[in-house]
Amino acid sequence: MDNTQISLLLKKLKNLDEGVRDAATTELWRLWFTQKGMYGLELLERCQTMIDAGEFAQAEESLTAIIEEQPDFAEAWNRRAVLYYIRGQYQKSLTDCEQAIALNPVHFGALHGQGLSSAALGQHVAAIQAFRRAAEIQPHALVNQQMILECTARLS
């Protein structure tokens, strides 16, 4: 991925214009999904179709195969984390989010997922930290601020 392009898009996430932020968000997701070209994108789309159809075991098997074949594909790790979260397997989701973040430290989706998984496990301090990191990247994404407030309230 082009680091100059990523840096420019990350800067646009902080823009006051919602349209600029939305376009930058869309482009970042596109770059992440196409990290491995159209073949990688097609694999992820096929897995998403399985998830949408409730074929969770098949989707997990396919995502695991993608990860084994291309362990540096951050979005494959993130997609499997989403699947695990949907299935209530929060520790597995957290582990995959952490791997996605290790590969792509600015992956606001994986950071948000890390926060959600941590919160589901009752690890509210860790969740707050993850949501804060996501909010640093996407300061106008109110969902992270809301989750910080919810997790903070649970600590009281």
Residue 139: band (very low, low, confident or very high) from pLDDT cuts 50, 70, 90: very high
Question: Are the beta carbons of 145 and 135 closer than 8 angstroms?
Answer: yes
CATH number of 3-155: 1.25.40.10
Question: Would you say the pTM of this structure is higher than 0.85?
Answer: yes
119-137 pLDDT, tens digit each: 999 999 999 999 999 999 9
DSSP characters for 109-144? HHHHHHHHHHHHTT-HHHHHHHHHHHHHHSTT-HHH
- Percent of the chain past pLDDT 90, that is, above it, reads 97
What is the spatial distance between Cα 28 and Cα 39, in angstroms, rounded to a whole number? Answer: 18
Question: Are the beta carbons of 58 and 40 closer than 8 angstroms?
Answer: no
- Percent of the chain past pLDDT 70, that is, above it, reads 99
pLDDT in the model for residue 117: 98
76-109 pLDDT, tens digit each: 999 999 999 999 999 999 999 999 999 999 999 9
Task: Tell me how crowded residue 143 is: count the other CB atoms within 10 A of its CB.
Answer: 14
Per-chain mean pLDDT for the chain = 96
Residue 110: band (very low, low, confident or very high) from pLDDT cuts 50, 70, 90: very high
> How do the domains of the chain map onto residue ranges?
3-155
